[in-house]
Structure 1
């Protein structure tokens, strides 16, 4: 791999030659703490280190070793080094390679396909020396981009550009821009491309299109783009090239291509210059095989923009994108579930960060519950979806098309299934509510001094922990020194534990069992449970990790933003505080078989209903499993004991039975019956052995971990868990507040019920009421108030139903004695709307489907905004049907006005 990338691999000693090649990788070089596998020299300067491991080794541990070697050089090595510590750090097991550049702000590890070239690192060194305050591309993304010139840009474009630049500045590797057709996606791309090239010094940007003719349009738009601060055309300053031949110009700042043409270039094949429609096809036999190509090294691009982010990139073609070491930005008008999954749920045009506003100290211990759809009910991945599948032993990841719908439960999350959507949603919810609901007392701390409380996350297993670490770093936009894994499989876990206990930088640790019992990290203020625990005693011990008191000086040494530790919070993301506990210790061919799951195929074997092509498919699946068992000797022995023979022999018998020659011989000798008997004999080892079929399924599932990156999870409830007594106390305090502010509340309700103010003012005043009660010392939200009414039995419990700010309307009306019971405002409006429609029908009025669409959306908008404002007709969703003009066309001018007045009176009476 090193030689492919242009490195000269040499041994230390008298034969070492640093003057010939530009890049030299020296094997087994002693440092202060031991021998580094490779030390890297560029232009005779020591610049980096590689830690090499066997396939499947823990690369997190290897990264820590590389950090140690890079930071503990001998004195003579320091004299030869470019920086006091080596910034470029690699870890590799030959199949997976990770890289970290510590010159990046909040530097974090990322996976790369190959090592970087020496000339690339030489360029990075030059750039760092030239701009030491922003030494890297990622540093310039954070600090060198000037204020956006908004003249000539639409609001959606401004939001997209600012959101993307913010995301890139945080180091996030995937970002999605959703923008309606015709809103100017390519113009937006031209704008941020220009800014990244000019100010962040991006060397080259790839603009991928769905079809080659769209590439021509994109190139034309770049050519016509007038730079906002210079006034010249983009192509007067930077070269834009459409990839229609093999050669990519060194001077190209933007390269426009289809993914198919890029793949041809990567494969060393000729790229036709003409517009060949066949090259726009995404159908390809077999897997895409990519090797290192010095013409297109992985660092060729600093950014990849995927226009329309077509579904092909989520399947086998994604390997083309992932070959390159560059952030990927998607542009689309219509994202699907896989789109959000591929782009890590990072919708930057809507990406916002909540600011903490609360400031109060609660009880020493409380529970904050986060429920998501997937953690509660699991999810379904549809058949045919391409999913990442990871081998538990080697950690190598491959992509497979699911043969059948894959349904998993919330209990499978973190074990057989790693749900990226669930992990990301929980951590995002934790971050968004960290200073507003979970730790509101930190809101008064200046933002540049505010710290994330020391947090310990309990994961289900080591693989789960790895993914959680990655998500935490990504969501918080922080580096390796902010969050790490501390498990028994980690390298030098006790040193990491000491660092977590004593360091002010390391804020979040993810563990399985290592810190669950008997290990004190006294400054801990938050425990996040992303795994269930059935043992009461074990749970109590885990809970105790956050309950320890700590001397003020010791606490401030690692958490200087607070004077002392006063409480801790359990963030329950899996239901651990709710569950009862006990104290106890290519043969694959043909339709429909190609979409049959292994479980269904084995069930057909048991029932005797399996067909010839299905037998071929089953043999293919079992042959693949047999090969994978080469790395699982204990499981192979177990299966062979149950089967009474090697699995290979069973597979070979099935293959022979479905061969053309065998089938023809059986047909000639005994017809169809003989053919069926031949298959029966081959399948007998499976058909007669239920335990073997069961064991094969268990083994198949145990070997692999499926990663669900398709299903976008969402929070269904997030809030402090209250008991009946706490709920009643909150209601008592709420009623005192209403009494103290009776004039204001009564005036608001009068304006609402008598329509003395415009709808938007009514809603704005309700928002101000909500903002005031959310401030300390109350910290009440509409969700918490509603939960209190449920706990006190004053309204019916509605499970995981979500509430909006408009629900304050019915709570206020209840407390004013107008309504007998508070009900969700949307429920009230929906009921009144149904009754209004029924009364209209009784009088002979019938509405068309088109008219019903308008009426239903008006009712829905009313439920979310207290009263309907006619100005809303010119906004989504109404603008999609012509806005005000469309409404007038649907009902007629006079009738339209009457309809709006009637609805306003009946729905919000």
Structure 2
């Protein structure tokens, strides 16, 4: 037989599929912990794999639990976090206890804070506490607090205090208060509370949200600059090498453009450079240019769109003096177009302007807009092609063609 013996290990993260027998040899009071340990036996395995380790087995149809200590019959509790009052300071919690507060949530929260503090203290800090408690350390104080709110301990105390085997709810409550009062008795000493708070303040990380740091100098180190330079050079060489091979680069390379750039073409280019052997993301290329030519790059850290590859290629080809998000480029050209329309005496109503701005936004994301696009969000919900035609009439088609040329140019 193959036997694995562990202590506090086979609970979670263990996957032994051929396991057919689980032994419990100690008591488990946590319901979730018990279920996790029992769950090690439910792993599924196909017949072939099972027979490779257990030749005389046919199939795993069930598993057996052997309960040596009676854990299956034991009443279990759900594990809960100690911290019940995370927004209340330790100072106020200790003050509440000193004033006679015996609420279990207060005691539990203090125990949780003490447990964390105990792990941060050095030997000198622990010794200072023991000096004020006749040798009892913070760890022991924590254990006493936790034990005082343990329902089973309270029942045992009630049985002893009232000499009964089945204490009433009121008797258990009185016993619980007694246990809590005993556990918090050391905390009624002001010097101990002050010492604990002093150690807590020293151990806690202080985050200064008042004093503002002043940036003296900002920039990239030499290694980062060298990596950025290599990335930019590789990208620009890629453009040169593929100016006759990749449609999007062909179109962007020729100015004036021989044909209009399509969304599928720039998306294909963006996806191509993200794959091996290049592994270039648009945002990384953007950051690389920003590292080398900070004053000429806008929109660092902002969300990148597929259409931003257009701005990258144009800047790499020195067609544009500034690398700016395609969105900003379109916004600027749209503002110029609107100004020209108004200068020529053609005004737009608020409703017409709303549609024009939505057309602009669609071009930002998709490079162009066509008749079919009005059947999608946000146009469809506002009347679609019928509504926009009602507002602009036959001028709509020529206007769309003009906007496609002007905005993405």
Q: Are the counterparts in 2 of residues 88 and 102 from structure 1 also a CA contact under 8 Å?
A: no
Name stretches of at least 5 consecutive residues in structure 1 with no aligned partner. Answer: 1-30, 37-50, 71-84, 106-127, 137-291, 293-393, 405-596, 650-683, 702-720
Cα deviation 1:57-87 (Å, max 9, x = unaligned)? 45558948xx5xx9xxxxxxxxxxxxxx435
For residues 392 and 320 of structure 2, the distance between their equivalents in structure 1, rounded to whole angstroms, comes to 36
Seen in structure 2, the aligned counterparts of structure 1 residues 824 and 634 have a Cα distance that, compared at 3 Å, is closer
Cα deviation 1:405-432 (Å, max 9, x = unaligned)? xxxxxxxxxxxxxxxxxxxxxxxxxxxx
What residue number does 1:861 align with?
362
1:804 aligns with 2:305: yes
For residues 342 and 81 of structure 2, the distance between their equivalents in structure 1, rounded to whole angstroms, comes to 58
Structure 1 residue 908: Cα displacement: 1.6
Structure 1 residue 785: Cα displacement: 3.1
1:598 aligns with 2:88: yes
Structure 1 residue 740: Cα displacement: 3.2
For residues 400 and 873 of structure 1, the distance between their equivalents in structure 2, rounded to whole angstroms, comes to 55
Cα deviation 1:281-315 (Å, max 9, x = unaligned)? xxxxxxxxxxx9xxxxxxxxxxxxxxxxxxxxxxx
User: Which of 206, 225, 228 pairs up with 1:724?
Assistant: 225
Seen in structure 2, the aligned counterparts of structure 1 residues 868 and 699 have a Cα distance that, compared at 3 Å, is same
User: Which of 352, 375, 389 pairs up with 1:874?
Assistant: 375
Cα deviation 1:557-580 (Å, max 9, x = unaligned)? xxxxxxxxxxxxxxxxxxxxxxxx
User: Which of 109, 112, 119 pairs up with 1:625?
Assistant: 109
Q: Are the counterparts in 1 of residues 298 and 324 from structure 2 also a CA contact under 8 Å?
A: no
Q: Are the counterparts in 1 of residues 308 and 326 from structure 2 also a CA contact under 8 Å?
A: yes
Larger radius of gyration: 2
What residue number does 1:576 align with?
none
1:770 aligns with 2:270: yes
For residues 192 and 82 of structure 2, the distance between their equivalents in structure 1, rounded to whole angstroms, comes to 33
For residues 791 and 736 of structure 1, the distance between their equivalents in structure 2, rounded to whole angstroms, comes to 19
1:822 aligns with 2:306: no
Q: Are the counterparts in 2 of residues 806 and 865 from structure 1 also a CA contact under 8 Å?
A: yes
What residue number does 1:497 align with?
none
1:904 aligns with 2:408: no
Name stretches of at least 5 consecutive residues in structure 2 with no aligned partner. Answer: 47-56, 62-71, 134-140, 146-187, 206-221
Bigger proportion of residues as helix: 2
Structure 1 residue 790: Cα displacement: 2.7
Task: Map 1:159-238; keep pairs closer than 5 Å.
Answer: none
Q: Are the counterparts in 1 of residues 341 and 347 from structure 2 also a CA contact under 8 Å?
A: yes
Seen in structure 2, the aligned counterparts of structure 1 residues 692 and 86 have a Cα distance that, compared at 3 Å, is closer
For residues 271 and 194 of structure 2, the distance between their equivalents in structure 1, rounded to whole angstroms, comes to 62
1:748 aligns with 2:238: no
Structure 1 residue 598: Cα displacement: 0.7
Cα deviation 1:632-662 (Å, max 9, x = unaligned)? 895899699499788999xxxxxxxxxxxxx
TM superposition score normalised by structure 1: 0.26
Q: Are the counterparts in 1 of residues 307 and 367 from structure 2 also a CA contact under 8 Å?
A: yes
For residues 870 and 855 of structure 1, the distance between their equivalents in structure 2, rounded to whole angstroms, comes to 14
Cα deviation 1:765-817 (Å, max 9, x = unaligned)? 22333344455544444334333323332743755334333222122223444
Bigger proportion of residues as strand: 1
For residues 756 and 851 of structure 1, the distance between their equivalents in structure 2, rounded to whole angstroms, comes to 29
For residues 203 and 233 of structure 2, the distance between their equivalents in structure 1, rounded to whole angstroms, comes to 57
Seen in structure 2, the aligned counterparts of structure 1 residues 62 and 856 have a Cα distance that, compared at 3 Å, is closer
Seen in structure 2, the aligned counterparts of structure 1 residues 728 and 87 have a Cα distance that, compared at 3 Å, is same
Higher relative contact order (CA 8 A, sep 6+): 1
Cα deviation 1:567-598 (Å, max 9, x = unaligned)? xxxxxxxxxxxxxxxxxxxxxxxxxxxxxx21
Cα deviation 1:467-496 (Å, max 9, x = unaligned)? xxxxxxxxxxxxxxxxxxxxxxxxxxxxxx
Seen in structure 2, the aligned counterparts of structure 1 residues 617 and 738 have a Cα distance that, compared at 3 Å, is farther
For residues 400 and 265 of structure 2, the distance between their equivalents in structure 1, rounded to whole angstroms, comes to 23
What residue number does 1:202 align with?
none
Structure 1 residue 400: Cα displacement: 8.5
Seen in structure 2, the aligned counterparts of structure 1 residues 750 and 737 have a Cα distance that, compared at 3 Å, is closer
For residues 863 and 734 of structure 1, the distance between their equivalents in structure 2, rounded to whole angstroms, comes to 23
User: Which of 288, 293, 305 pairs up with 1:788?
Assistant: 288
For residues 901 and 831 of structure 1, the distance between their equivalents in structure 2, rounded to whole angstroms, comes to 18
Cα deviation 1:590-620 (Å, max 9, x = unaligned)? xxxxxxx213x958999xxx9xxxx999967
Q: How many residues align?
A: 302
Seen in structure 2, the aligned counterparts of structure 1 residues 856 and 784 have a Cα distance that, compared at 3 Å, is same
Task: Map 1:146-545; keep pairs closer than 5 Å.
Answer: 396-398=79-81
What residue number does 1:236 align with?
none
Structure 1 residue 764: Cα displacement: 1.7
RMSD: 5.7
Cα deviation 1:379-414 (Å, max 9, x = unaligned)? xxxxxxxxxxxxxxx99455999x78xxxxxxxxxx
What residue number does 1:103 align with?
44
Structure 1 residue 103: Cα displacement: 2.5
For residues 100 and 386 of structure 2, the distance between their equivalents in structure 1, rounded to whole angstroms, comes to 62
Seen in structure 2, the aligned counterparts of structure 1 residues 878 and 690 have a Cα distance that, compared at 3 Å, is farther
* Partner SS state of residue 742, structure 1: coil
Q: Are the counterparts in 1 of residues 368 and 408 from structure 2 also a CA contact under 8 Å?
A: yes
Seen in structure 2, the aligned counterparts of structure 1 residues 880 and 398 have a Cα distance that, compared at 3 Å, is farther
Task: Map 1:81-100; keep pairs closer than 5 Å.
Answer: 85-87=18-20, 93-95=28-30, 96=33, 97-98=35-36, 99-100=39-40
More displaced stretch, 736-745 vs 812-821:
736-745
* Partner SS state of residue 598, structure 1: coil
For residues 108 and 334 of structure 2, the distance between their equivalents in structure 1, rounded to whole angstroms, comes to 58
For residues 14 and 237 of structure 2, the distance between their equivalents in structure 1, rounded to whole angstroms, comes to 57
